[in-house]
Amino acid sequence: MHQRSHMMQECWLICLRKKIEEIDKEYVVQIVTDNGANYKAAGRLLEQRIPGLFWTPCAAHCIDLMLEDIGKMNEFKPYIQKARDVTTFIYRHGRLLSAMREKTGGRDLVRPATTRFATAFLTLQSLNKHRNELRRLFVSDYWSDNKLSKTSKGKKVMETILSSKFWDQVEDYLCATLPLLIVFRLVDGDENPAMPELSSAMNHAKKKITESFMSKNKTRLLAKLMEIIEDRWRDQMEVKLYGAALFLNPSKYFELKRSDPVFARKQRQLFNDVLEKMVKDEELTDKISGQADDYDKIQESFGRQLIHTKKRNRLEHKRLNDLVYVQYNRKIEHRFPKRREEGSNFSPLVLEEFQWDNEWVDDSPYLVHEDGDLEWHHVDEAVGASSNLNNSNIRSRGVGESSGPPVMYDRRRGSSNRYLVDENEDDNMNNESED
């Protein structure tokens, strides 16, 4: 096995080096490969043999592994499985599925995506968005009169839907994964190179996750999430080249100097490390370093003296705030028409255009009736949904497994190809599920 691995490593090394020589090694700065052991070993050897070359693993794969680790956490894994049980149960019974669609305005719950973790996120997001419609379905006369409500699986699904604890964990999972999926979308896009944005985007994502869980006063859960993210990032993606790219990106770097000067100084140091590796001429290194100092301090040809005059600095704060307010509203006004006009050409690399906040998480009370004061947590307490859910034997099935037959989705039509079982045709199965 070891000999075979060594042979594969040498094979990759030869292929990569041949391709670099075709291009000319003077023009090759970075090689990005999969995160497999053979690729990593070949990349490290190439770095040793070609001094100015940087090997980096795939950032999209790294983030996918973060999402996988988060999905396996004890705080989330059982509830992800519970959500799968809910969707599997609904989608395998035709009339129940039709009743659900009536409540949700024809919208489906399951939303397939390019990776199974993105699918889990989108489906949980859809469940969370329609939580009240689902609750109303499972406390309706239709459900109580349905034979499925008497089955053990039906009772467990109802308890899940009516459990406040379940929805709390769903929200936490979404808050933990949304910022990472935004970075995943950025690095996995083909429209523009993502390297200059990567370090800034991940730093932004970590801040958003931190803000979210600090506001919930869930510091222990936040610590576990940060450990997963930092371990994966440090092991695979803490690359000097990315820090240098961020330093040379003025639209990100100077804002970073203001908001996080410690992190900004680290990017400048990474630029110095890259400069030392790539440029061996001492005189040229000194010249570039001096220009980098001017750039960092916004002076000489990099500075605009008009900005630094005392007259300019006396701009009243109120006027400045008004200008920012107008500019921001203009940006909002043009954002969505721009996205519709550009379609697939819309650039995912503009971080400001992302919806970083969890806008679909509503902190307001969920009322059973809009004109009343009865909330869903009262229903939860009355039927003992969360209590039964916590006391039940929650299976620790793998994140990618399902409690029922697999569902195959046709992405062209957005519908399920699997035959939907009608309640009347499923009486025998329902009776058997009582045990």
Q: Can you list the alpha helix ranges (DSSP code H) found in 365-406?
A: 376-383, 385-391
The model's pLDDT over 66-102, given as tens digits with 9 standing for 90+, comes to: 999 999 999 999 999 999 999 999 988 899 999 999 9
CA distance 289 to 244: 13
Q: Does residue 321 or residue 239 have the better pLDDT? A: 239
The residue-averaged pLDDT of 393-400 equals: 41
CA torsion, ordered 80, 84, 87, 93, to nearest 10 deg: -160
pLDDT at 306: 41
CA distance 44 to 300: 39
CA distance 199 to 252: 10
Q: Does residue 308 or residue 190 have the better pLDDT? A: 190
User: Tokens 């990099």 belong to which residue?
Assistant: 302
Q: How far apart are the first and last CA of the chain?
A: 48
Q: Does residue 25 or residue 194 have the better pLDDT? A: 25
CA distance 250 to 267: 12
Residue type, 55: W
Q: If DSSP states are collapsed to H, E and C, what string results for 164-182?
A: HHHHHHHHHHHHHHHHHHH
Q: Nearest 5 degrees, angle CA 167-CA 173-CA 175?
A: 105
Which of 23, 358, 325, 5 lies closest to 176, judged by CA?
A: 358
The residue-averaged pLDDT of 391-403 equals: 43
pLDDT at 90: 92
CA distance 137 to 189: 39
Predicted confidence band of residue 322 (pLDDT cuts 50, 70, 90): low
User: 3-class DSSP state for residue 263?
Assistant: helix
Q: If DSSP states are collapsed to H, E and C, what string results for 268-300?
A: HHHHHHHHHHHCCCHHHHHHHHHHHHHHHHCCH
Checking if the pLDDT of 42 tops 80, the result is no
The residue-averaged pLDDT of 337-361 equals: 51
User: Tokens 């024809």 belong to which residue?
Assistant: 106
Phi, psi dihedrals of residue 415, rounded to the nearest 5°: -130, 170
pTM to 2 decimal places:
0.65
CA distance 255 to 425: 63
pLDDT at 391: 67
The model's pLDDT over 141-188, given as tens digits with 9 standing for 90+, comes to: 999 999 999 999 999 999 999 999 999 999 999 999 999 988 888 877
Which of 227, 231, 240 lies closest to 198, judged by CA?
A: 240
Which phi-psi region, left, alpha or beta, contains residue 298 (left: φ > 0; alpha: ψ -120 to 50)?
Answer: left
pLDDT at 392: 60
The model's pLDDT over 24-34, given as tens digits with 9 standing for 90+, comes to: 877 888 888 77
As to burial, measured by CB atoms within 10 angstroms (0-12 exposed, 13-18 middle, 19+ buried), residue 100 is buried
Checking if the pLDDT of 206 tops 90, the result is yes
Q: Does residue 370 or residue 282 have the better pLDDT? A: 282
C-alpha 327: how far from chain center: 28
| DSSP result, 102-121 | HHTTT--S----SSHHHHHH
CA torsion, ordered 385, 388, 393, 397, to nearest 10 deg: 10
Checking if the pLDDT of 286 tops 70, the result is yes
Which of 356, 360, 68 lies closest to 207, judged by CA?
A: 356
DSSP H/E element including 56: strand 54-57
CA distance 338 to 357: 20
Residue type, 359: E
Q: How many CB atoms lie within 10 A of CB 400?
A: 13
The model's pLDDT over 114-131, given as tens digits with 9 standing for 90+, comes to: 677 778 888 899 999 999
Which phi-psi region, left, alpha or beta, contains residue 332 (left: φ > 0; alpha: ψ -120 to 50)?
Answer: alpha
Q: How many CB atoms lie within 10 A of CB 158?
A: 24
